[in-house]
Chain A
Amino acid sequence: MASVTLSRPSTTKLTARRIVKDIVVYGLLLLLGGLFLLPFLWMVTSSLRFPGAGITFPPQFLPTEFNFANYPQVFQMIPFARFALNSIIVTTLAVLGELLSASLVAFGFARLRFPGRNILFLVLLTTMMIPYPVTMIPSFILWVRGLGMANTFGPLVLPPFFGPAFSIFLLRQFFMTINTELDEAAKVDGANEIRIFWQIILPLAKPALATIAVFSFIANWNDFLTPLIYLSDPNMYTLALGINFLRNFRGGGELSLQMAAAVMFIAPCIVIYFISQRYIVQGIVTTGLKG
């Protein structure tokens, strides 16, 4: 009896503490989560306002006007469709190049034996630490003066075909986890390395390939510095440059138009995130912990 009467108040106290803790935790999370999402909401709301309505104080977070005409208006003011097409071409080619070369090279490092393999892999790891600005100027001279590729997509899409170190590293780690018995069985059946790579390893590596594709897409879609250096002809602009172009354009200072353009620019990245959330989280965790 005594123990029951004693334990009663302490359980209530524990429950009370638990409730207070829950309120604090969820309260903070909702507040901060809301703050992180607020700019997105504000972008969409602002993109739907009538031109000339401009920016208001206090700021409007929830839409009261629905002027969808701002979206087609962006296409009339700047060659938005052209910029979007350029971005799609650049991003698609860069992603394909990265997938192709990274998987080939990673297969070589993970599955094949050759003299100097370990040293070369160490070299590859070291190269991940070299900041882009160090190679930026000579690369510019090489592409523009050496190969005459100013105002082409070459300098943007060709480098990924030559083995981006980070993706190679990620895929190599993944290939290492695939059981070698499969390879050996295939070898007994007379399959060569190329068939093993193509028919056994690649299908098994789909999750890792998806991770790389998603990160490569987001990086290339958002890249600003490389297109800025190589593309000066507005016909060749990617969206990242095009959006900035709109800002400096006559009449482009309009808030609603800028936001309509920005919403269309970020939409593909958001969509890709929701389609491939699993791979993104997995990718951040593996590269984050192992890099």
Chain B
Amino acid sequence: MGYLFISPWLFGFIVFLIGPILASLYLSFTTYKPGQTPVWIGLENYVRMFGDDLFYHSLRITTVYTVLSVPLGLITALGLAVLLNQGVRGLRFFRTAFYLPSLISGVAVAIVFAWFFNTNFGVINFFLSLFGIDGPNWLGDPDWTLPAFVIMSLWGIGGTVVIFIAALQGVPVELYEAAELDGATSWRRFLNITLPLISPVILFSLITGVIATFQTFAVSYIMTGGGPANASLFYLLYLYRNAFNWFEMGYASALAWFLFLIILVCTLILLRSSELWVHYEGLGRK
């Protein structure tokens, strides 16, 4: 009876997951265009990858973007959550304000921010002009494109804010009271009580954040088409073009497997490093 109930998943797991994963691995050792038979070429795709400038370029851009946007997003989200955790009135209103942008991923964000980043008329440069700053040509200057993407990513941190608020509310009040009696300043209380106790949640957000940013696609596809001068050619966009514009499906499969490997290694490194900084007694077992 149990198997009957789980059969939808079991079927999907074999047909839509294990099958395609193995097929993807096989294809990565072939040259394959739709309509033709795959031809085994051994490691050639992987050799080609390590001599491919655009592969390095897209990998570098995606890594830089991840390294900038994920920590910046986490710090901002934590700051907002701390502000909201000061017993403020209207918590629901503010939480809604921060969360609403996360509801509209992809196309709508790209369309709005394409205008926001306009050099002469854009909202971003308008705000900069209030401070006497002559804003850059965000989406036209390769040096400013990635920073524009980072700024845009901050608009979508609402989900993390909500998670952090819940984590902060889970920290026992007695701990703060005891520390206050001992004369600890609020900064010390934050460093020594809050941060350790919510560190498992920080780790979780860090890992999911890295996994998601390595798969950035829609916004660069729509807003900049990977440009200018490939400045926003994210890894997945390059993979997509190989697979669906140039029909190099063997090579694209090799790129996909390499992405899988990167994500796996990043996750493992973060998990290993967590032994040094994540505190597991508090929230997890409360």
Contacts and interface: CB of A to CB of B under 8 A. Distances in A.
A218 B159 CA distance: 13
A262 interface: yes
B98 A33 contact: yes
A243 B108 contact: yes
A2 interface: no
Contacts of A57: 120-121, 126
B148 interface: no
Interface of A: 21, 25-26, 28-29, 32-34, 36-40, 42-43, 46, 55-59, 101, 104-105, 107-109, 112-114, 117, 120, 123-124, 127, 129-142, 144-145, 159, 161-163, 165, 168, 193, 197, 218, 222-225, 228-229, 240, 243-244, 247, 255, 258-259, 262, 265-266, 269-270, 273, 277, 280-281, 284-285, 288-289, 291
Given A135-B20, A135-B21, A289-B201, A218 B1 contact: no
Given A113-B2, A114-B1, A114-B3, A55 B27 contact: no
Given A55-B115, A101-B9, A39 B257 contact: no
Given A39-B101, A59-B126, A136-B256, A224 B106 contact: yes
Nearest to B160: A288
A interface majority secondary structure: helix
A134 B21 contact: yes
B283 interface: yes
B42 interface: no
Contact of A26 (B3, B20, B88, B205): B88
Interface of B: 1-6, 8-13, 15-17, 19-21, 23-24, 27, 34-35, 80, 83-84, 86, 88, 92-101, 103-108, 111-113, 115-116, 118, 120-123, 126, 155, 158-159, 162-163, 166-167, 201, 204-205, 208, 211, 214-215, 217-218, 221-222, 236, 239-240, 243-244, 249, 252-253, 256-257, 259-260, 263-264, 267, 283
Given A59-B126, A133-B215, A138-B24, A224 B107 contact: yes
B interface majority secondary structure: helix
B163 A39 contact: no
Contacts of A225: 217-218, 240
Contacts of B98: 32-33, 36
B87 to A, nearest CB: 9
Contacts of A42: 112, 116, 123
8 contacts: A36-B158, A105-B5, A114-B1, A133-B256, A193-B1, A269-B103, A288-B166, A289-B167
B257 A136 contact: no
